[in-house]
């Protein structure tokens, strides 16, 4: 495909305006104008429409192909939710901050309040704030709430315990909040080593941050015991809700002892995820942490109307400009209403079923580091293929030629040559079978024709990036 500058023709125009019969306006002072033309391409309207249409057809997304990124929940998003969110385009809740605006914002404030109530019920928490803009932002909010709790009690806490199977942002959030991170290794059974955890737990631990299920796609059977032990030294337990898809409607984190939870609305609740946003990471807390929640908070009056409350002297303050990505929250609310209680339960059941189906169909060809029932995602290793000099990245590139977005590779880092697959609940058996066939073909090629995998992809405009150089230099270079 040619670049837009390559199809440019001198003098070609998309629009020719008639000569102006009024004096030309000069909206900008001369010092702000270019001394020379910008050198933009010269194209007809047809050139422009065809170029960008063809360019858009080269994009990959959940609307065009199976997108099995592990730990990301890249699932199809029903278009009905887009319509629901679009209803509120003229009425962003920030209108409530204008004089007389609260009356106009009642609808949006009601959605925020009802979404928070729904998340309280789903997670087993006593209160929720929808301010955080993404999962990592929710993590940061959660750890700040924990720090505020300990400060108010006069606790002298220094450490945050994080399993090495947690999401990588967990230790980053803890460090940014001023804590020292204690990493606990994964035991042979696939969960945080319980004995190592007991040895690390003491009165100076402020919190334990858990991804549950963890990034191996496994649920920790000792989770209630871990929470009880943490509470025994007045440490709080934080739930990373990025993998909530696996237990939605099956288990409430608050019921097993978690004190703080963040929820990725842009993963579990059917809103778009990818390309850096949009996102939303509401945070739920138990009763003891409510005084520290961000302000303003949406409060329902006795007459049923809604207002904003900011009179909370212990609050950690604002985490965003009001409630940030309201459109994402509106989509999630529409999703919650559309599915209802039974539908949300079925989400997790199908997500777990699909992951275990993929795992069972591939474990004869790919190494399965932890051979047990998984939750919503399964983690393989391409270590068997290494004997043929084939790496996880080679298999990922081959899948592009087969019409699939590659799964996550080289994460979690505790698995050598990791291939992490999350099929989600929205994919059919036919789609999963086609993906499985492609994965099995890749394993066969690794033995019979490894050079074919090394050449992949061959159906794309470019082959393989020099990924190290591309990460270090803004001008992307190709191998």
Among the residue ranges 99-108, 149-158, 297-306, the one predicted with the least confidence is: 99-108
Distances (CA, A) of 298 to 86, 113, 309, 414: 22, 6, 6, 42
In a domain, 2, yes or no: no
Over the stretch 71-103, which tens digit does the pLDDT of each residue have? Answer: 888 888 888 888 888 888 777 777 887 888 889
The reported pLDDT for the residue numbered 62 is: 84
Residue 169 has pLDDT above 80, yes or no: yes
Q: What is the pTM of this model?
A: 0.89
Q: Does the residue 404 lie in any domain?
A: no
- For tokens 């039974």, name the residue: 342
Domain membership of residue 163 (yes or no) is: yes
Cα(93)–Cα(88) distance, integer angstroms: 9
Assess if residue 177 is contained within a domain.
yes
Classify residue 51: in a domain, yes or no: no
The confidence score (pLDDT) of residue 147 equals 98
**pLDDT for res 478:** 44
Give the C-alpha separation, 63 to 82, whole Å. 14
pLDDT at 274 > cutoff 80: no
Q: Is 214 inside a domain boundary?
A: yes
Q: Determine how many CB atoms are found less than 10 A away from the CB of residue 126.
A: 15
Tokens 């720090």 locate to 147
Count of structural domains within the chain: 1
pLDDT in tens, 396-424: 999 999 999 999 999 999 999 999 999 99
The domain that holds 93 is classified in CATH as 3.40.640.10
Q: By residue range, what is the domain housing residue 280?
A: 79-338
| For residue 294, pLDDT beyond 60 | yes
Q: What is the mean pLDDT of residues 162-169?
A: 90
pLDDT of residue 194: 97
For residues 185-196, give the mean pLDDT.
95
Q: Is residue 276 scored above 70 in pLDDT?
A: no
Q: So what's the pLDDT on residue 32?
A: 87
Tell whether 73 is covered by a domain: no
Beta partners for residue 380, in sequence order = 419
29 found inside a domain: no
């Amino acid at each position: 495909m040619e670049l837009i500058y390559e199809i440019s023709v001198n003098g070609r125009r998309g629009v020719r305006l008639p000569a102006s019969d009024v004096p030309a306006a000069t909206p900008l002072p001369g010092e702000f104008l270019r001394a020379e033309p910008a050198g933009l391409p010269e194209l007809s309207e047809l050139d422009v429409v065809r170029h960008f249409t063809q360019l858009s057809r080269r994009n990959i997304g959940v609307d065009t192909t199976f997108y099995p990124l592990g730990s990301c929940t890249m699932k199809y998003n029903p278009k009905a939710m887009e319509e629901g969110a679009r209803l509120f385009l003229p009425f962003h809740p920030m209108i409530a901050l204008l004089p007389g605006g609260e009356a106009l914002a009642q609808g949006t404030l009601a959605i925020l309040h009802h979404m928070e109530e729904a998340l309280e019920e789903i997670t087993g928490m006593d209160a929720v704030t929808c301010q955080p803009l993404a999962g990592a932002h929710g993590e940061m909010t959660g750890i700040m709430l924990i720090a505020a709790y300990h400060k108010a009690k006069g606790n002298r806490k220094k450490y945050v315990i994080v399993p090495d199977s947690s999401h990588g942002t967990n230790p980053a959030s803890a460090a940014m909040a001023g804590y020292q991170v204690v990493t606990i290794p994964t035991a042979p059974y696939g969960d945080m080593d319980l004995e190592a955890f007991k040895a690390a737990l003491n009165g100076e631990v402020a919190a334990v941050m858990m991804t549950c299920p963890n990034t191996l796609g496994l649920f920790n059977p000792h989770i209630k015991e871990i929470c009880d032990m943490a509470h025994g030294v007045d440490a709080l337990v934080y739930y990373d809700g990025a993998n909530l898809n696996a237990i939605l409607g099956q288990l409430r984190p608050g019921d097993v002892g978690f004190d703080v939870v963040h929820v990725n609305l842009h993963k579990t609740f059917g809103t778009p995820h990818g390309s850096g946003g949009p996102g939303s990471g509401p945070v739920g807390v138990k009763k003891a942490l409510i005084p520290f929640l961000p302000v303003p908070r949406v409060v329902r009056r006795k007459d049923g109307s809604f207002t904003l409350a900011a009179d909370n002297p212990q609050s950690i303050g604002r985490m965003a400009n009001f409630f940030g990505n309201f459109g994402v929250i509106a989509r999630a609310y529409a999703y919650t209403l559309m599915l209802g209680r039974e539908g949300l339960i079925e989400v997790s059941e199908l997500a777990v079923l699909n992951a275990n189906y993929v795992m069972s169909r591939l474990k004869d060809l790919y190494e399965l580091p932890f051979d047990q029932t998984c939750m919503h995602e399964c983690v393989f290793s391409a270590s068997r293929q290494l004997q043929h000099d084939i790496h996880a990245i080679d298999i990922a590139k081959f899948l592009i030629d087969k019409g699939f977005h590659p799964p996550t590779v080289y994460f979690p880092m505790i698995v050598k040559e990791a291939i992490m697959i999350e099929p989600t609940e929205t994919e059919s058996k036919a789609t999963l079978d086609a993906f499985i066939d492609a994965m099995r073909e890749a394993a066969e090629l690794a033995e019979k024709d490894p050079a074919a995998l090394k050449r992949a992809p061959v159906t794309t405009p470019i082959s393989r990036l020099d990924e190290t150089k591309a990460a270090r230099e803004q001008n992307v270079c190709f191998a």
